[in-house]
Amino acid sequence: MKIKSVVRILMLIVLVGIVSIAGSMVFFVVDETEYVVVTRFGDPLRAYTEPGLKIKWPEPIEALHKYDNRLLVYESGEMEFLPRDEKNLIVDSYVVWRVDDPVKFLKTVKDEMNAEDKLRDIVLSELGIAIGKYDLSALVSTDPEAVKLDEMIEKITMATDNKVREYGIKVEDVRIKVLNFPQQNKEKVFRRMMAERERIARTYRSEGNAKAEEIRAQADEEMEKIISAAYAEAEKIKGEGDAEALRIYAEAYSKDPDFYQLTRSLEAYEKFIDKDTTIIMPADTELLKYINTANPEEKTPKRQRGQGFTVEQDQTEIPSSSVVKK
């Protein structure tokens, strides 16, 4: 009984193994990240682009070919190209692509390696054609409006996509990673770029100086207006003050003319007489009438002293003009 049980178990295990092997040869799973093409005796039969459990005849009757349906990136590497103005450029580009028609892809290029070889030839060819239609200044410039690089890339992408459709490939994008110059051309390009930068800087400085001159002129004009207005106002106030002073003087004079004359004479003494002043003038001058106490009938000269000054008078020999010595 025990031997029969063991035999039955072994037979069951073998049967399960056979069924599993047969099932793996007949059933297969399509992943959501891939396309699967089923071939019969090497000829493409059908393609599965949706994920799920599928069935086929076991090999060698039917075989599976799986391709990644996600976006793939191929880097073409650096290549030297010649723009329209014949200034060599080194371009490093890459291509974003994917399998669009798995059956056509299998028939034409079979695998990704061959597909990338096709892409490289086509992309580099289209790059050379496109770059040859543009000057260097349209690809590299400090003026954003003069740069036509995006326009060129769009044309390359469209042209490349149209040419690879026959291989079951769709090109989503072509981009330039590096746009450089050969070592022997870099010095000339840098000098040209420096000259362009200096030209722009001179333009900015010239515009700045013109603006500064305009601002200074406006400020000077405004200053002249303010000064003129202030001067006019000052003259007006000064005139009003002089008029008021004259009115006060006239009013004071009308009240007591003798006292007013005395006060004005004393103010005059303070302005031109000090302790070092010597005045020589006729004795009967009006200016000295308040400090001249000499006898007018006396013929001999007399010297009178006031505070801080000396007066010499002579009725007969002093000339009519006066001399003031300091």
Tens digit of each residue's pLDDT (9 = 90 or more) over 2-61: 676 766 677 777 666 665 665 556 788 889 999 999 998 888 888 999 888 888 888 888
Is 113's pLDDT higher than 50?
A: yes
The pLDDT value recorded for residue 255 is 75
List all residues 6 or more positions away from 273 whose beta carbon is below 8 Å from its beta carbon. 279, 306, 308, 309
Averaged pLDDT, 195-204: 89
Range from 32-36, 137-141, 206-210, 286-290 carrying the lowest mean pLDDT:
286-290
Q: Give 84-98 pLDDT, tens digit per residue.
A: 888 788 899 999 999
More confident residue, 36 or 193: 36
Q: Decide: 30 and 48 in contact? Cβ < 8 Å.
A: yes
What 8-state DSSP symbol labels residue 166?
G
Region(s) of the chain under CATH 3.30.479.30 = 72-181
Determine how many CB atoms are found less than 10 A away from the CB of residue 83. 19
For residue 152, give the H/E element and its range: helix 149-164
What 8-state DSSP symbol labels residue 282?
-
User: Crossing angle for the helix pair 112-131 and 149-164, nearest 10 degrees?
Assistant: 140
Q: Decide: 130 and 154 in contact? Cβ < 8 Å.
A: no
Judge if pTM exceeds 0.85: no
Q: What topology is assigned to 72-181 in CATH?
A: Tetrahydropterin Synthase; Chain A (3.30.479)
* The pair of three-digit structure tokens given for residue 59, joined into one six-digit string: 């090999």
The pLDDT value recorded for residue 105 is 94
The pLDDT value recorded for residue 154 is 93
List all residues 6 or more positions away from 146 whose beta carbon is below 8 Å from its beta carbon. 137, 138
Averaged pLDDT, 180-206: 82
Averaged pLDDT, 105-124: 92
Positive or negative, the CA dihedral 216, 222, 225, 227 is: negative
Task: For residue 91, report the phi and psi dihedrals to the nearest 5 degrees.
Answer: -120, 130
List strand residue ranges (DSSP E) for the chain, in order: 27-30, 34-40, 43-48, 52-55, 62-68, 72-81, 89-99, 169-180, 277-280, 302-306, 309-313, 323-325
Longest dimension (CA), the chain: 187
